[in-house]
Amino acid sequence: MNDANVTPLGDRLVILGAGIGGSYTALMCAPYFAETVIIDRDAIPDTPEYRPGVPQSAHIHALLRAPLDVANEAVPGFEDALVAAGALSLTAGTRARYHEYGGWQVKRDLGFNVSAQSRVLVEHEIRRHALHQPGVTLRDEVELVDYMIVDGVTTGVLAKDSTGRIEIISADLVVDSTGRAGPILGLLEQHGYDGVRQDEMGVDISYTSAFFTRTESDEEAFGAIVRSNPPEVRSGVLWPIENGRWVVSLSGRFGDFPPADEEGFAEFARTLGDSLPYDTIQKAERVSDFSRFMIPRIYWRHYEDMKEFPERLIPIGDAVQAFNPVYGQGMAVASLHARELRDVLREIADGDCDLGDVSARMRPRVAGITQWAWDLTQPVD
């Protein structure tokens, strides 16, 4: 099916959250609605900049093949546009390499590329392309107050703008991509829906990151991941990004966390399994403050198990699960959730079901995508 020529299934799609998941949803699903409105509580900048709603922005964010492929499907040539905006395309195995179990993996072309850039650049580019889709608008500095649910059907959201004005934004479908800090659990409880079963796993990981000058050309630059293996808990990533910079992200677990000061950061890097990150920052100039991000536990919320759930409400991304960032799964899974919703909307457009069935169809499919990624985080017996 040509999504661009589809007859709209409804008047308005409301997407909560203008980050990665929300922007992917607009990219994939906007053709199925006459209007798509993205709302976000932050003031969304017109250029790639950091914002309070994404506190993890200052850390490494490589874009794996899945989210790149999804974006290329929605916007042919997206990967080239991302590179044109400053991202680096790194061949896995030669220009993106792993050090683990005491040595570097054999240098060889693994047959695919990963995208290296800052989180703010990739988010900006996905959102920019989403906002170029017909009928898509962004309303920033607007905060979700409540879902509007009538007889078990979500009919819109109650929202508050920066002046404190409360309004109802009607919708035929609401996608919640408000992330880790989103209010979905509390709102469902307020509306009388039973508690969500949640799997949790303690990871007790903390990151400290900073940006440094990079003298290598983009063509010469490479990314290096120095992984820890039990009983060691310290890891580090040296990753090239746009504007001739490195992002260096150090991580530790179980209380052995990287410091956020010059001397402590360098000393932590020196103790990694390979000296490459340490040697690099000794020759580079730091051009940012140190940023820290801590994740005590990861979770998976099993909305698919709930006997009752509001129709026409779809949680995706970190509103469903939060992964250990070591595996780089968050953006990938959010993009796959968005594509799955597009596929369900296609089925509805083909007459296989009704828009009123979208939540019931989506929740087990979201669970299936999440299961695949969640299993990768489980300990091996």
Q: Can you say how many angstroms the Cα of residue 129 is from the centroid of all Cα atoms in its chain?
A: 16
Asked if the model's pLDDT at residue 337 lies above 90, the reply is yes
Residue 58 gets which letter from DSSP?
A: T
pTM for this structure? 0.94
Q: What is the pLDDT of residue 197?
A: 96
Q: What is the pLDDT of residue 379?
A: 60
Q: What is the pLDDT of residue 106?
A: 94
Non-local (6+) Cβ contacts of 145 within 8 A are 157, 158, 159, 160, 166
Asked if the model's pLDDT at residue 32 lies above 60, the reply is yes
User: Confidence class of residue 169 from pLDDT cuts 50, 70 and 90?
Assistant: very high
Q: What is the pLDDT of residue 352?
A: 72
- Within 10 angstroms of residue 80's Cβ, the number of other Cβ atoms is 12
Q: Can you say how many angstroms the Cα of residue 236 is from the centroid of all Cα atoms in its chain?
A: 20
Query: At CA 34, angle to CA 28 and CA 35, rounded to 5?
Result: 75
